[in-house]
Amino acid sequence: MYSLRMVFLIKQLDIEAFRQMEKKIELIIDDNATLQAVQQLFNDFFPFLRINFFSYSKEISGDRNRKLLDKCLKKLAEFRLTKASITIIHPEMSVQELEEKMKSDFGLETQIYRCSGRIWLETNETDSWSLKEQNDQGEALS
């Protein structure tokens, strides 16, 4: 097996055709992609997973307020904390690795959810599983 690197920006692609390939595919996301586009591409690539991004703001009382950045049109570049200009997500990456990468590279709190029938479950208890394992489990439960 070898690695096939594909650049997915904001194009509509036949993701299912790529998923059927018996090759390791990496999802490479350019910093010009919006958070909304990243969410859509992630879900296209892993149809039984969902990725959500959160930001925190401090209240006057000192409490932290968690805000869901759903369908956010801000570009990844606006959040970037490191010098790299692309982010690579691969199926063997664990949920924990992805969440830590998004925190360290962008300062974004990230939560992965797995489909379980008609509901979406946080993957907190299975964060050590790979994205592929999570997606396969979601498919089996749907």
- Would you kindly state where each structural domain of the chain is located, as residue ranges? 3-141
Report pTM: 0.76
Beta bridge partners of 30: 86
Which pLDDT value is given to residue 22? 39
Helices (H), the chain: 15-19, 35-45, 95-106, 131-141
Distance CA 115, CA 50 (A): 8
Q: With a cut of 50, which residues of the chain have pLDDT below it?
A: 1-13, 22-23
Report the pLDDT value the prediction gives residue 19, as an integer from 0 to 100: 54
